[in-house]
Amino acid sequence: MAKALLVIDIQNDFLPPNGSLAVASGDEIVEPVIKLMNDPKQEWHRIVLTRDWHPPDHISFAKSHGKPEFSKIEYHSPIPGDSSVQEGVLWPVHCVQGTPGSQLAAPLIEEQKKLGCRVVDKGYLHDREYYSAFNDIWDYHRTELNNYLKSHHITDVYVVGLALDYCVKNTAISASKLGYKTYIIKDYTRAINTDSESERKLEAELKKYNVKLI
Ligand SMILES: [Zn+2]
């Protein structure tokens, strides 16, 4: 067994008080996540930090469509010949490549340098939304994450970070589909939607894909 810790999108734009798409209380998990990264009992074989890493005209920005933030959109597959459609949410501009908002939280950058953790970016193709750090929502474009984990013989994946109900959830589901034993450590995450109906749906979805919420 070899364990990897995936730290999802703990970037300035997702953090209160100044992030453009701040997840409520997201700042509360930064120090605990750093402790978890350094916990000798965990015996992490590899730690990966991910970044949402968008071009300025990204398709997931409300501004790119002239529509209100947080309104719904129907995404059409960018692949010619594929007529599939998915419902998405249009976000405020966030995590534009190279801006201060796109940087990892400052204490995490220190930790990443100290421990030599790999950084994996997603969301950089402008014509498609990404939630999972493994692939776009259509599962056409794959990041290097799976190859990286496979090359280090990772068997078990633990996912923490932001936001629980989007990128953490979808990264965990991808990991499970790819054959990793997959866990989300809930105390080290925060969600965008925290009502009980959303929580119930999330738990059911994770169960369906054999992701353990611990
Ligand atoms: Zn994004």
Query: Does residue 175 lie in a domain region?
Result: yes
d(CA 33, CA 9): 12
pLDDT at position 97 = 98
* 206 Cβ contact list (under 8 Å, min separation 6): 169, 172, 173, 184, 212, 213
**Measured in angstroms, how far is the CA atom of residue 54 from the centroid of ligand 1?**
7
**Measured in angstroms, how far is the CA atom of residue 41 from the centroid of ligand 1?**
33
d(CA 154, CA 121): 19
Tell the residue number behind the tokens 């738990």, with chain if given. Answer: 203
User: What's CA 28's distance to the chain center, in Å?
Assistant: 17
Instruction: Give the pLDDT confidence of 123-144 residue by residue, as tens digits.
Output: 999 999 999 999 999 999 999 9
Q: What percent of the chain has pLDDT over 90?
A: 100
Which residues make up the environment of ion ligand 1, defined by Cβ < 5 Å? 52
Q: Is there a catalytic annotation at residue 41? A: no
**Measured in angstroms, how far is the CA atom of residue 149 from the centroid of ligand 1?**
23
Query: Does residue 31 lie in a domain region?
Result: yes
Q: Is there a catalytic annotation at residue 95? A: no
**Measured in angstroms, how far is the CA atom of residue 130 from the centroid of ligand 1?**
7
State mean pLDDT over 166-186.
Answer: 98
Domains: count for the chain: 1
State mean pLDDT over 157-178.
Answer: 98
Range of the domain at 150: 3-53+99-213
Query: Does residue 168 lie in a domain region?
Result: yes
Q: Give 54's pLDDT tier (boundaries 50, 70, 90).
A: very high
Instruction: Give the pLDDT confidence of 83-103 residue by residue, as tens digits.
Output: 999 999 999 999 999 999 999
Query: Does residue 71 lie in a domain region?
Result: no
Query: Does residue 64 lie in a domain region?
Result: no
**Measured in angstroms, how far is the CA atom of residue 64 from the centroid of ligand 1?**
13
For the chain, give the mean pLDDT.
97
State mean pLDDT over 143-172.
Answer: 98
Q: From the candidates 95, 117, 122, 169, which is the catalytic residue? A: 122
Q: Give 51's pLDDT tier (boundaries 50, 70, 90).
A: very high
Query: Does residue 82 lie in a domain region?
Result: no
d(CA 36, CA 5): 9
CATH of the domain at 133: 3.40.50.850
Q: Give 21's pLDDT tier (boundaries 50, 70, 90).
A: very high
**Which tokens sit at 55?**
């071009």
Query: Does residue 58 lie in a domain region?
Result: no
State mean pLDDT over 16-20.
Answer: 97
Query: Does residue 77 lie in a domain region?
Result: no
* 49 Cβ contact list (under 8 Å, min separation 6): 7, 10, 104, 108, 112, 117, 118, 119, 120
